[in-house]
Structure 1
Amino acid sequence: MSVVAVSQLKLGDKLAGDVLTPLGSTLFHKGKVIQGREIEILKAFMVQQVSISDDRNRTMPPNQDGSDEIQEQNAGLIKAPAAPIPFDDEYERLVELLKKTFKSAAAGEIPVLELRQQLEKVLRHIGSYNPLTFAPRSFKQPEYMYHSSAACALTSYLIAQWVGLPQKDWMQIAMAGLFHDIGNSRIDPDILFKPSGLTPDEQEKMRRHTTVGYQLLKNVAALNEGVKLAALQHHEREDGTGYPLNLTSEGIHTYAKIIAIADIFHAMAMNKPYRQGQSPYLVLEQIKSDAFGKLDPAYVTVFVDRVTQFHNGTLVRLSDGRTGEIVFSDRVYPTRPWVSINGTIVNLTVERQLYIKEVIK
């Protein structure tokens, strides 16, 4: 291991230890290979020196000069199309099954076992899912309700893990996500998909989806009570301002508290028949503000922190139209990362008039 000034770093150097910001956040982890972007970021954070591995095999990034591509062309090699991602295939099968379920639920028939088996297949590939960047491969806006239920199941499954619930609860909470809006199967479609605001009478009818959902599920022996209560309580709020029973924090089931966070996130970030989805980062900021009195603040904090951890290197479009790459997420302001745009670092914690409008991936 050697300590080297940042000005002396060369492409291919490998970090021998974590690099921290002056405030103690991790900028780069041990083992990171240094390239031009990393040097730029280190200088932006005014890091003076770093520890690197003694094995200083400096290599250029693949294809930087196009030689790999030229060699493939000269050899007559043609890359095969990328294989379908198993996650996307299984997710689409789950959505198709949910369509059938919502139709059959109106007649009182719910294929719980079939849904659980398909959900298990999706969850085998949960590593391919990130709530902040996920977009269904094929999405038709009239199918919003089914995508919302599927995405809510996956996000709730992750939140259950992140907040430290026992493993036995993970699948049950995912099932609660699938069924939380099952009561919508008996709501008038003209109300459900109305593009304009609802009248007070229509709002009251819409709110009944919680009690209708519970009635549909209450005698289903294959579901535990938490799943059923999540359908009933996912619109309850910590301060008692929710519905249908105006419960306060102590009376709301843990499953319902988790489903509420996932439900709000996807309801705001996903495209609906009558409006475009919002920036997922703005949605997270809204959820954080709602945590004061409305949502479980501990669960919200964990959700926001964890869902924003994975995005260094993610391409994003800012609200002013510029495109850049997330290079650092401050743990104090996880929804306002630093973005590199053509070599310039834009600190969104300082430039508050800007925000991430779209995650490009």
Structure 2
Amino acid sequence: MIVSANQLVAGCIVTADVIGKSGMPLVKSKTVLTDTEIFYLQKMLVKEVTVAGHLEDGSSFVPEKDSVSVRPAIIQVHFLDAYAAAAEGYQKQFNAWQHGSTVDIAVLRKHILPVLEKVSEWEGNVFNLPAYRRQIDYLPEHAAGTAALVAAVLQKAGFSEADIKQIGLAAYLADCGMAKLKQPYHIQKRRLHDSEWEDVQKHPTFSYRMVEQAPLLSSKAKLAILQHHERADGAGYPLRLPKEKIHSFASLLSICDTYHALISERAYRAAVSPYEAVDIILEEQFRRFDPAMIQHFIQAFVDAQQNTKVRLSSGDIAEVVFTDTNHPTRPMVREQESGQVKALTEIPHIRIEQIIYEAR
């Protein structure tokens, strides 16, 4: 039967490919729809979908009367649910790439677009994502997390919706070339040997080749994928480009990639705190990153920490009340117990050790 996208419910079985304006399938036949996929179809302004007369559980599907408005249950898809679906979807695609499958941009857009669109609405702290979700496998979490960070920074900086979606998708795809390496280095529980590291440095080239002919990905998104490990000092890879040859979006992707990697637990090292990760990035900024993109990243980070509870190295719990972007890791804080406001710029021996997780 043919129904409106607004009539779909979780468990509906698609019986004909849903084709987007580009002529590429948004959802393929035989897909069992989830709330996230329905939300995606509605956001893509799909009018009609052909589905089976029964749901996945075997019960009959009787569509409700169509409504112009989007169903409230679909609007309420939570950011963290969309994020989890994006990580899980990436893992499935990565497994397929390892066995020779090509990159299906339409499927990947379906997984990551809800994350890119909902990150600005979420009341949680996108710069502390590992605190909200237990990491199962690093690479899919890293792909979804880096994409969310890129979107948050670009939204805060006022970039266009098209750029946010394209560069967010580029961040999601940047490491797809890891599937083509000699060994599954991403699951190693030790630091890599020199020969292994040389092989890993090929992954941006493989990633670029995997998406080079994809019509749904812009040229600047493809360039960001190829260049996301290049450095301003020319010591990056795979091409060792000078800073004037590196696209600014590639540099932003590199910043977010580095940050998310630092705050993530790895088998061979512990995660660092968000504030320590920012300190590390600032120490490297002139050697590695585009100054304008560093400023955009820092502004987004600072804004996200306003009124956040933190644990200080003194053991005190405090709330961030003001941050000067020139000193993003040394804000003014109000101690919870004493009520005193302290400027960490004036107390060099005290630092922020942890952002305190608050469920959202």
* TM-score, normalised by the number of residues in structure 2: 0.71
Q: Is the CA contact (8 Å cut-off) linking 2:313 and 2:352 kept in structure 1?
A: yes
> Alpha carbons of 1:272 and 1:171: their partners in 2 closer, same or farther (altered >3 Å)?
same
Alignment of 1:112-127 (within 5 A): 112-126=105-119, 127=121
The residue number in structure 2 matching 1:16 is none
Deviation at 1:85, TM superposition (A): 6.5
Larger Rg: 1
The residue number in structure 1 matching 2:259 is 265
* Number of residue pairs the alignment of both structures matches: 277
CA distance in 1, matches of 2:131, 2:180: 25
> Alpha carbons of 1:185 and 1:224: their partners in 2 closer, same or farther (altered >3 Å)?
same
> Alpha carbons of 1:326 and 1:85: their partners in 2 closer, same or farther (altered >3 Å)?
farther
CA-to-aligned-CA distance 1:277-336 (integer Å, 9 cap, x gap): 111111112212222131001110221122112323211112343322222223431221
The residue number in structure 2 matching 1:345 is 341
Q: Which runs of 5+ in 2 are unaligned?
A: 1-75
CA-to-aligned-CA distance 1:87-141 (integer Å, 9 cap, x gap): 1111111111000111112213223112212322223322215332333643234
Q: Which runs of 5+ in 1 are unaligned?
A: 1-83
Alignment of 1:37-186 (within 5 A): 86-106=78-98, 107-126=100-119, 127-128=121-122, 130-135=125-130, 137-141=132-136, 143-186=137-180
Deviation at 1:164, TM superposition (A): 4.2
Identity of aligned residues (%): 30
Deviation at 1:270, TM superposition (A): 1.5
Q: Secondary structure at the match of 1:340?
A: strand
Q: Is the CA contact (8 Å cut-off) linking 1:105 and 1:216 kept in structure 2?
A: no
Bigger drift between 160-169 and 349-358 goes to: 160-169
Bigger drift between 269-278 and 204-213 goes to: 269-278
Q: Is the CA contact (8 Å cut-off) linking 1:192 and 1:206 kept in structure 2?
A: no
Alignment of 1:281-300 (within 5 A): 281-300=275-294
Bigger drift between 324-333 and 169-178 goes to: 324-333
Deviation at 1:235, TM superposition (A): 0.6
CA distance in 1, matches of 2:183, 2:348: 40
The amino acid of 1:88's aligned partner reads: L
The residue number in structure 2 matching 1:254 is 248
The amino acid of 1:358's aligned partner reads: Q
Q: Is the CA contact (8 Å cut-off) linking 1:282 and 1:355 kept in structure 2?
A: no
Q: Is 1:198 the equivalent of 2:192?
A: yes
The amino acid of 2:130's aligned partner reads: A
Deviation at 1:352, TM superposition (A): 1.7
> Alpha carbons of 1:293 and 1:100: their partners in 2 closer, same or farther (altered >3 Å)?
same
> Alpha carbons of 1:248 and 1:162: their partners in 2 closer, same or farther (altered >3 Å)?
farther
The residue number in structure 1 matching 2:225 is 231
